[in-house]
Amino acid sequence: MTLTHAEPDEVLSELSERDHHRVWLVGGAAFAASFRSAGLIAKYVVSVIPTVLGDGTRLFDTGGPAGNLTLLVNKQFGSGLLQLRYAKSGEF
């Protein structure tokens, strides 16, 4: 686990130097949007949990390029959770 306040391209450069080429991002909407805006997210894993909260946080903050995603895999779990794996269209 790496905690940082660095810019997204700096983070990936540092991790690449340590021979880490697959990175799992965990953070809020602004954090994810910063990597998305820099064009640094190739694949997305979105989990749908069958609970209605009535309110919540956006997946991404506003801004960043629009783009289509291609569904690679969908998997349903016994709990009702649905996990969707996407790639940016044209990148498999």
Q: Looking at the domain assignment, is residue 74 inside a domain?
A: yes
Domain range enclosing 14: 8-88
Q: Looking at the domain assignment, is residue 2 inside a domain?
A: no
Q: Looking at the domain assignment, is residue 3 inside a domain?
A: no
Alpha-carbon distance 34 to 19, whole Å?
22
Alpha-carbon distance 61 to 5, whole Å?
17
CATH code of the domain in which 50 resides: 3.40.430.10
Q: Looking at the domain assignment, is residue 75 inside a domain?
A: yes
Q: How many domains does the chain have?
A: 1
Q: Looking at the domain assignment, is residue 15 inside a domain?
A: yes
Alpha-carbon distance 11 to 5, whole Å?
9
Q: Looking at the domain assignment, is residue 1 inside a domain?
A: no
Alpha-carbon distance 67 to 41, whole Å?
12
Q: Looking at the domain assignment, is residue 41 inside a domain?
A: yes
Q: What is the pLDDT of residues 42-82, one digit of tens each?
A: 888 989 988 888 887 777 777 677 788 999 999 999 999 99
The pTM for the full model equals 0.71
Q: Looking at the domain assignment, is residue 47 inside a domain?
A: yes
Lowest mean pLDDT among 4-18, 32-46, 56-70: 56-70
